[in-house]
Amino acid sequence: MTDQRESLVQRRALLTGVGVAATGMYLAGASASAESVGFQPARHQQDAWMNELPGVHRAFVDSASVNGGAAALHYARNILNAHRDAYDGNDTENAMIVCLRHDSTVFGFGDEVWKKYGEEFNAELNFPDPLTGKAPDVNLMRHTDRGMMPNLGSTIDSLLPRGVQFAICNQATKSFARAMSRAGRGDADDIYNEFVASVIPNGRFVSAGVMAVMRAQEYGYSYLFAG
């Protein structure tokens, strides 16, 4: 009997030890999870504008190609229209950013730049004016008289009064300026300054489009890639 009691006591001690260990592991896991949920990213002045846009819904529509830039405009309009029609909402309830980076960066430039560098843009991107079949001499995403395009009639100018903001990649802007310079169009810094001076309304140059993608999500924006 004594041996049986000792064995029983040992088994209970073992089970108790396992329980304590499991409880400790659970608490450690819960603590790590709490720390993860409580994570707060660092804030930088360069990104503060994202947190200042009014709206109870935040959306970041990203694009990296010419077709993607066109689609991003259409997606932005769809989001605004769906919120209005299905939720009885209004545009001011949406903080909406469309990102123009990589090849779609050129849609952040004004018509004067397209008139001057349209041939080079078309050679780089193969995005001719559907009306003429030739190199564009205007920013196609600001015009509705050029025939059917991937934006399906959603233009930059139609989104401006609805509060849509545009993040334009500064790194890609510099890259395009260098490409124009290599094509014999002048000094890269001068061309870059032309691009910056022609920025579309509600347009803001960000250090890099991919950085804006990251920062927007840290500020609670839902992310949508348009292509």
Residues 6+ apart with CB under 8 A from 9: none
pTM of the model: 0.83
For residues 189, 195, 197, 201, the Cα torsion angle rounded to the nearest 10 degrees is -160
* Residue 147: per-residue pLDDT: 66
Listed as ranges, residues in the chain with pLDDT below 50 are 1-34
> What pLDDT, on the 0 to 100 scale, is given for residue 145?
80
C-alpha 212/C-alpha 216 separation (Å) is 6
Closest CA to 204 of 191, 188, 215: 215
Q: Would you say the C-alpha torsion 39, 54, 200, 89 has a positive or negative sign? A: positive
Question: For position 5, what pLDDT does the model report?
Answer: 44
Q: What pLDDT was estimated at residue 99?
A: 98
Q: Which CATH superfamily is domain 45-225 in?
A: DsrEFH-like (3.40.1260.10)
Listed residue (46, 53, 61, 84) closest to 151, CA to CA: 61
Task: Give tens-digit pLDDT for 145-162.
Answer: 876 677 888 999 999 999
- For the stretch 154-205, pLDDT in tens is 999 999 999 999 999 999 999 999 999 999 999 999 999 999 999 999 999 9
